[in-house]
Amino acid sequence: MTSLRENRGVVLSAGAAILLLVGTALAFWWVPNDADQGFSQRIFYIHVPAALTAYACFGWGAWKALRLLSTRVDRYDLESYTAIHMGVIFGIVTLATGSIWAKVSWNVWWTWSSRQLVLFLVLFLFYSAYFMLRYSTDPGPRRSRMSAVYALFGVVLIPVSFLAIRLAEDFIHPVVFNRDGPQMDGSMFLTFCVVFAGTLALAGALYVNELTGKRLDRNLRELEEALA
Amino acid sequence: MTSAEKYVTAAYVVVLAVVLLYVVVYAFKLQRLDREVARLAELARDRHSDTESVEPEREVAETRS
């Protein structure tokens, strides 16, 4: 159990590689063509898991921010920052794949008439601004608390962004998951689950590796100050 | 290859490109950390050798007195 915990970066990386390779193979060669969108619907298997993973990363970052504010333990600041960093990376993937899907389905790279798209962009830009806030203040407890409060505010946008399409009824962005469950074939849902597990594992692997790098960086700076 | 196939392939290639870009950025970061560790190790070795050269001189001075 201890070795699993120590090697979680390796385990998550290997798991992500296997799941994403299998998921991509299933998406290209196993699932049937969608009755409405045809072959282009296969972008769904990477676009939606990336968006959900971005939400998960932002949520994780907000949870760590809450832990920082409630316990004042310094390590949660770095963990919250790293999770938001990962969320922004998956946000870029979501916007890029979504844009390609929009081009093939609606013949435009972007449309301002879909509230779902605009709210996701707002969420993405909000968390991108987190880095500007963080690097505009000196390191220390004040910066940690300010960043944590900002990360917590952003988490409010996640349910708004997620529910926007259901509340807005704009009918541009398709709704696959509703109150009756997933509106797709069993093979499609299985492929979606495999790729989603893969993207979550990838986010976990990147989070662990990035956090290790950031801790190493901080420890080296402390060591440098001690030796100076 | 149809137009839809090209777009779907492009979407998956974008994901791969983002992951690869991240690996490249991380490789640069690792290189920087490696250089930093080497510099600190050298600094620590210098400190250690300075301490060792000072210690015998102090021992000799103490013996004479």
Helix (H, G, I), strand (E, B) or coil at B65: coil
Query: In chain A, what residues touch B5 (CB-CB under 8 Å)?
Result: 39
Output A97 or A111, whichever has higher pLDDT. A97
Rounded to whole angstroms, the Cα distance separating A43 from A37 reads 11
Domain of B40? 24-65
Number of domains into which chain B is organized: 1
Nearest to residue A95, comparing CAs of A65, A128, A64? A128
- Tell me whether B38 touches chain A (CB under 8 Å): no
Rounded to whole angstroms, the Cα distance separating B35 from B26 reads 14
Q: Is residue B50 part of a domain?
A: yes
Shortest CA gap B47–chain A (Å) = 9
The pLDDT score that the predictor gives to residue A110 is 86
Across the range A168-187, mean pLDDT stands at 67
Query: What single DSSP character describes residue B36?
Result: H
Rounded to whole angstroms, the Cα distance separating A8 from A209 reads 10
This complex has an ipTM of 0.76
Shortest CA gap A71–chain B (Å) = 30
Output A195 or A37, whichever has higher pLDDT. A195
Alpha helices by DSSP H, listed for chain B, are 3-64
- Phi/psi for A177 (5° steps) reads -105, 115
- Tell me whether B24 touches chain A (CB under 8 Å): no
Q: Is residue B19 part of a domain?
A: no
Rounded to whole angstroms, the Cα distance separating A42 from A57 reads 24
Q: How far is CA A174 from the centre of its chain?
A: 20
Residue A72 scores a pLDDT above 80: yes
Query: In chain B, what residues touch A95 (CB-CB under 8 Å)?
Result: none
Rounded to whole angstroms, the Cα distance separating A206 from A212 reads 10
**Nearest CB to B11 within list A43, A213, A227:** A43
Q: Domain-by-domain residue ranges, chain A? A: 9-227
The answer to whether the beta carbons of residues A140 and B43 sit under 8 Å apart is no
Output B45 or A64, whichever has higher pLDDT. A64
Output A117 or A175, whichever has higher pLDDT. A117
Nearest to residue A120, comparing CAs of A186, A165, A187? A165
Range of weakest confidence among A62-66, A98-102, A190-194, B43-47: B43-47
Shortest CA gap A224–chain B (Å) = 7
- Tell me whether B13 touches chain A (CB under 8 Å): no
Across the range A15-26, mean pLDDT stands at 91
Query: Which residue from A minimizes the CA distance to B25?
Result: A210
Output A116 or B18, whichever has higher pLDDT. B18
With bands split at pLDDT 50, 70 and 90, how would you rate the model's confidence at A46? very high
Output A139 or A57, whichever has higher pLDDT. A57
- Which 3-state string (H, E, C) describes chain A? CHHHHHCHHHHHHHHHHHHHHHHHHHHHHCCCCECCCEHHHHHHHHHHHHHHHHHHHHHHHHHHHHHHHHHCCCHHHHHHHHHHHHHHHHHHHHHHHHHHHHHHHHCCCCCCCCHHHHHHHHHHHHHHHHHHHHHCCCCCHHHHHHHHHHHHHHCCHHHHHHHHHHHHCCCCCCCCEECCEECCCHHHHHHHHHHHHHHHHHHHHHHHHHHHHHHHHHHHHHHHHHHC
Query: In chain A, what residues touch B33 (CB-CB under 8 Å)?
Result: 213, 216-217, 220
Q: Is residue B32 part of a domain?
A: yes
Kindly report the average pLDDT of chain A as a whole number: 86
The pLDDT score that the predictor gives to residue A169 is 60
Do residue B33 and residue A100 have CB atoms under 8 angstroms apart?
no
The pLDDT score that the predictor gives to residue A207 is 93
Per CATH, the number for A9-227 is: 1.20.120
Rounded to whole angstroms, the Cα distance separating A11 from A4 reads 8
What share of chain A has pLDDT > 70, as a percent? 90
Do residue A227 and residue B26 have CB atoms under 8 angstroms apart?
no
Shortest CA gap A70–chain B (Å) = 32
